[in-house]
Amino acid sequence: MFFELRMYRMKPGQREKWIRLMDEKIIPFQIAQGMVVIGSFAGQEEEDLYVWIRRFKSEEEREQLYAAVYESDYWKNEINPLVPTMIDRERIQVIRIEPTPKSVIQ
């Protein structure tokens, strides 16, 4: 099992719009496809920061879920065209992390 910590930097003035899109469309869609979204966060001191975390049982599961989400017509036609209007794609950071033995998140 591992987690994917995703950090995005928003284009000026776009964070609240992005949060609404995540909360109302992206996260519910990904959960419906089987993704486990642990949480999403807005930076307190950095107004352009948005962070979210997903959990995967294995690399094989991640690959299957990525295909179900990112190769879907819904993603390609409804979501993907909106992403570059709000996110600075060049500054996206994706970090894979594993919980330590005593972590409350397992």
- The tokens for 96 are 């894979």
CATH code of the domain made up of 2-97:
3.30.70.100
Q: Count other Cβ atoms within 10 Å, centred on residue 74.
A: 13
Residue type for 96, please?
R
- DSSP character at residue 56: E
Per-position pLDDT tens, the chain of length 106: 999 999 999 999 999 999 999 999 999 999 999 999 999 999 999 999 999 999 999 999 999 999 999 999 999 999 999 999 999 999 999 999 999 999 998 7
Residue 87 bridge partners (DSSP) = 10
Q: Count other Cβ atoms within 10 Å, centred on residue 10.
A: 22
Matching residue, tokens 């390609």:
76
Could you give the CA distance from residue 29 to residue 85 in angstroms, rounded to a whole number?
Answer: 20
- The pTM of the full predicted model, rounded to 2 decimals, is 0.92
Could you give the CA distance from residue 57 to residue 76 in angstroms, rounded to a whole number?
Answer: 25
